[in-house]
Amino acid sequence: MKRSPKDYRDMFLALQPLGSAWTKRLSSRWARLWEASGEGLSRVEEEVLRLAREANPLYADASLEDWEAVTGLPDECSREGESRDTRRAAVVAKLQRPGGQSIDFFLKFLGPFGDKVEIQEGYPPFQASVSLAYDRLWECATGAMDDGNGGTVVDWYRGWSFVWTIIRTNHGSRRFRAGRERAGDPLVIWYLNKDGTDPNIECRINQLKPAHTQVVFDYRVDNEG
């Protein structure tokens, strides 16, 4: 807990020598002098505590550039003029990346960037009595395959078996929030692309995805959020 200037004043007065020349009256000029000196020490202590908190990159501010140097950022996926919040999210995402290419891995990777994220994979064909009106057909049969029992089965999936979708909801803008942004940050950050896409995220996902797959990015805005 940070000490106040008055706390430092009281410590100074308690440590001074005994005697009538060393007054301890809080209304004296001597006490006010020590309280004024305590203001500087209190600010130093506050800065030390803040920097100690920034040992966790989730709270990096003054040390953000140092964390970026450690993680090799900015990189080819970074954009000029990114907010400190976006840069911090990129640092956290890179540090907590354990390696892998599962759905769980990508959900954890996208977590620091905010927004609600879902991942969808597998595009089965339209089936009578199973599919509903207006369902997509995804009819991309590419030929016959051996079913392993001497028969054949139509290969419906070869065209879409390597396609998966990332759905991000609430994408489009980021509003200033006390405790997250700082003085000087804009009140609203609108993503740069007029079509509502986020090239930063798309670049990073395409760096990490299995090389033989294709990712579809689906951006959705929750107007009630």
What would the 3-class secondary structure string for 112-129 be? HHCCEEEEEECCCCCCCC
pLDDT tens string 78-123: 888 888 888 998 999 888 877 788 899 999 888 888 778 899 886 6
Q: Which of 59-73, 143-157, 188-202 has the lowest mean pLDDT?
A: 143-157
pLDDT at 216 over 50: yes
pLDDT tens string 88-98: 989 998 888 77
Mean pLDDT, residues 171-177 taken together: 65
pLDDT at 210 over 60: yes
pLDDT at 65 over 90: yes
pLDDT at 158 over 80: no
pLDDT value of residue 142: 44
Consecutive H or E run containing 218? strand 214-220
Write down how long the chain is: 225
- Radius of gyration of the chain measured on its C-alpha atoms: 29
Query: How much of the chain exceeds pLDDT 90, in percent?
Result: 17
φ, ψ (nearest 5 deg) of residue 125: -75, 160
- Write the CB contacts of 146 (distance below 8 Å, at least 6 apart in sequence): 152, 153
Top-confidence residue, 152 or 11: 11
pLDDT at 225 over 50: no
Q: How far is CA 43 from CA 2, 3, 37, 39, 75, in A?
A: 9, 9, 11, 6, 35
Residue 179, token pair as written in the block: 């405790």
- Write the CB contacts of 141 (distance below 8 Å, at least 6 apart in sequence): 125, 154, 155, 156
pTM over 0.75? The answer is no
